[in-house]
Structure 1
Amino acid sequence: MSALPSLPESTSTPLPIADAWTRFITARHAGEFSEAWLILLCEKFPSVQQAAVLVESNDGQNYVPIAVWPSADAQMASLGTAVQRALTERRVVAQPSPDDEETLHVATPITAHDQIRGAVVLAMPASGAPLALLLRELHWSSAWLSNLLGKRDHDMAVSAHRRSLGVLEAVAVALRHEHFQQALFDACNDLRQRFDGSRAALALVDRGELNLAALSEAATFEKASPLVQAYAAAMAEACDLAQTVETGTDTEDAAHFRAHAALLERTGAARVVSIPVTAQARCIAVLTIERTQPEAFTAEDRQWLDTFCGLLSPIVAQRTHAERSSLQRFRDEGERMLAAIVGPRHLVWKAASAAVALLLALLILVPVDYRVSAKTVTEGEIQRVVAAPYEGFLAAGYVRAGDTVSKGQTMAQLDDHDLRVEQARWSSERDQYDNKLREAMAGHDLTAIQVVSAQLREAQAQLDLLDDKLARAKVLAPYDGVVVSGDLSQQVGTPLEAGKKLFEVAPLHSYRVILQVDERDIAQMERGQHGRLVMNGLSGRSMPFTVGRIMPVATAQDGRNFYRVEARLAQDANVLLPGMEGVGKVEIGKRKLGWVLLHTTFDWIRMTLWTWGL
């Protein structure tokens, strides 16, 4: 903290004592009052060589001289040591000059409201100086300065209070509307009236582009108009400079701010000020106020506007962020994620992004074998139905489904009791007709011979039919195979109709594979494709097969459509049995990994969009 900065030399002469008292009584500002007070003090003590009154600056960072006696020169800088010590120790300090031990420096702090607000420092000869009288006089007379500084603090507090109320009222105007555009419009109108301006404007910065958002006394305006473009250029100039720009038609710096000079020329105003509104060291808006009067904005006005812009900054940032469209929100979130990925820090985001990128590369670039999976059932290549040879009753059933049979093996027996009775009857009638035929031939009765011969043939035909039925009373296996279906063990004695299916027999070691292919995959199936089959009961062994025939008829099952695809095993499988189920996979070819995993989902999405008419 600098206690006493060096001052330029002054050629002013001290006032006469009478004039000093007059000036002391009629002083209108602190500098005049302090100078008159200091003259009176030094006139009372002629031994004082130099003196100064210092007060705290407005920013509170240092102390500046408000009055000096007899005049300001470079030698007064040596008084700073005493002043610094008095301010630090908060007491009266009397010490020799660092440049001349014959000179004594006396410094005393000036307090107001229990706070040090200034100091008085004097230089006088070290020998023969009335130090006690001087200190007593300083003690009593410094009350004038304390009162002056206290009034100064009071005036500053009142000004700050008035400024705070005005700023809060203006901020309340900017907050009372639901729509931010209307709030900015009312805020511009309020600022124009508050500063007696001709027009006030506010522009927002979005992605480096400045757009005029509100203009006082204009609810709507054409953004492409020359006036709006002039405002935008002036505001962009202040935003680029990142500082408050104030200029007028009568100022010399107008040429430095060309956009503002062009704005004044177009609007006919005499004064303009543009203040950037910043948030996190980034310009988010610019406020511009014009005046028709050439008077400059006062320091208090500038301080008011700076305070208002400081409070307006979070409001603008929050409201613009809250009123973003869905597209803007998506874009901002994307940029935020991109910044986290490519910017500094955020190691978790970077690691996750690298993993996602690697996964996408695998899905897009890596080819894999694509196979269509389908539920599979084995069937015999040929299936023979063993049916009842004639109407009758079941006498016995010797096999059931799953049994292995040999060619000619008896599978079931029909009851032949009635057939044998009928056979005996027709055998007796045949013998009778044979005897009658002999008698007719002996009597040469041609008519009787013809009639009896016909009856004899009929009887013989009936016997042949009965012999054939008796031969078929035993149901025999047509070939070596396995019984696929049929179980008569619980049906002994029941009547059978001619042609009724008793068993289904499939040959051993000759099977075909039936694939139930989903309709979404049937387009990729072709004849001759290869695949492998794994049965439920033989999960540790896979068997190759070849697609043989694709049936063009679909069957519905569990709410989905399946097509029947026939395939043949590449080699005989002794362990297979008809009706076994498993899963078969047909090799289609090479496809990208992402397509293999997601093509079903994409197909569903396309169908859904098509259904909705999109």
Structure 2
Amino acid sequence: MSPESTQPKHHPHVRVLQNRRRRQRCLHKSLLRSTLTAHDLDALLNSLIEELNQHCQPALIVYESRSEASGLPPGRILYQQSTTAPDADLLSHLQQVCANSIQSKEVEIQPYIDIQYTLYAAPVTVRGQEPHALGIVFPTTKSTEPCSLLLQTLVSHIVLWHVLSDGLKSEQHARDAAAIVELLSNMTQVNTFTQVTRQVADELAAYLGCRQIAIGINEAPNSRCRLSALSGTPDFDKVSKSVNLIETALDEVVRQQVTVTWTSQDNSPGPDSLSLKSVCEQQNATSAICVPLIRSDNEPQGGICAIDIPSERLENTRQLLEAAATPLANSLAASQQRTGISLNWKSALHQLTGNRPRMATLIICLLLTGLLFLPWPYTVVCDCQLEPVSQRFVVAPFEGSLETMLVEPGDLVHKGDVLARMDPRELRWKRSSLVADQNQALKRRDSAQAVRDYTNQQLSKLEAERLGLEIELIDHRIENLEIKSPVEGIVVAGSLNWSEGAPLEIGEALFEIAPLDKMVVEVAVPDSEISHIREGQHVLVRLEALPGSEQTLSLQRIHPRAEIRDDANIFVAEAALDNTSRLLRPGMKGRASIQTPLQSVYWILFHKPWNFLRKYLF
């Protein structure tokens, strides 16, 4: 045996196998790196396709999604080898293979009509979501196993990304919940309400990583939301432009009770986010979120605004603020109630005992000050006017001429009273003409029957029947020439220009009648006082026509839109009033006094002058 036969032989296929395994390991590392670094599904798919193109040359890749949760359109083309549009038949065939894979929940492999391509599809199954599918068109090879394994590898990394993403979301929710609990716990350790709101703003700004947090408080129901705290700013100018813009944005959010978000990418912001856009433009911020603070009793406590939030934390910030809104509103309300009582009694007592010569003056000042803080009923005095609860219109029942009118505006009528009569002459003339035409039709029928002309006989018979129906209609109108009142009441309106023989159109309004059993008192509330008015409050009504009588009623409805009356902007509040004595008439005017909740004496005396000065001087 020669020496050469004893040497080991080299096997080239072993080296090829090792190179293939090395490439597979590199591919798995690259895919795993893409899975761990992708921030959303779209970025993940693009990264996976880039890695795939470095190892093979697919002709077409499609991600088939049947739900909106994925954020991708159904049948989205992720990659195509050619720069032109893909073959419609190939795309349709691949989508059908993806649909079959979703239904069977298995890998589907089908050859294409053109033998140079093979279609692969694998389902992407994620818990809590509808299944998707990834479809790839590979060039046809001797074995489909490598391409199938490669496709399943891509799908497994997509599923892994979903699992990791859900875990990160759960972890973030847990951290947010712990932060909310810690925030609410720290609120109980602060003495004054101003310090409470300032601490909440500072802690939220530090946790969320935004530039600034603004907290607004509604001091009274339906009052304007006022800025209470700005993170990082212990003292701020309450009349500055930036504060005014923030208060406007917070007030709109609180009134609408909806969360509003604005980013610099919003090219056409809606009307709800215009105020928030003004805040961001004034502060050179790229984003902002406003969330209303609504208590458990559905009453607004205020609002919170986060300014200049990092783009990657925008959605998490919105979710955290919405989750913390109700418990934070309840805690702020409790803190406001707890710290609302003045804590300066010790200092006042010390001054009282330490300065004996001035004791009398000090006692008088204290008494006067105490009187100013005593609660007292606050009454809003407004103009009022009586209006009918409902109105009925009396119209012409058919076309014709007016014979006479029997009532005028201001007359009392009962149900069934005759209000007007229509002229019957035109109807009688028309009836006579129709009777003559009917007789002629009957004669033509008889003549046709005599000569056995059955066609003309039938036509004449039908013509006679038609004329008979028209005669019945005319008879009905003649019997109902009197226009009667449908209800008992007073004639509110009716034209005095109708004259005898005036033509009337069907449905033309002749009278307007208002029932008198019940009336509505329309109270004209000035817009400066509307924030103190609520449905159900008592109102004392005094009418000028009946100066000796007073009626205590309850407000039932407040119009949501202001009106202009006597050059004044007012809101109309309604209260029902019985008119069993029939002494009241629509249009009567008087004065109404609305009883609002108790207010301090100093507020009753000075809130109007203060509002006037603040409006025109500041």
TM-score under structure 2 length normalisation: 0.39
Whichever of the two has the greater Rg, that structure is 1
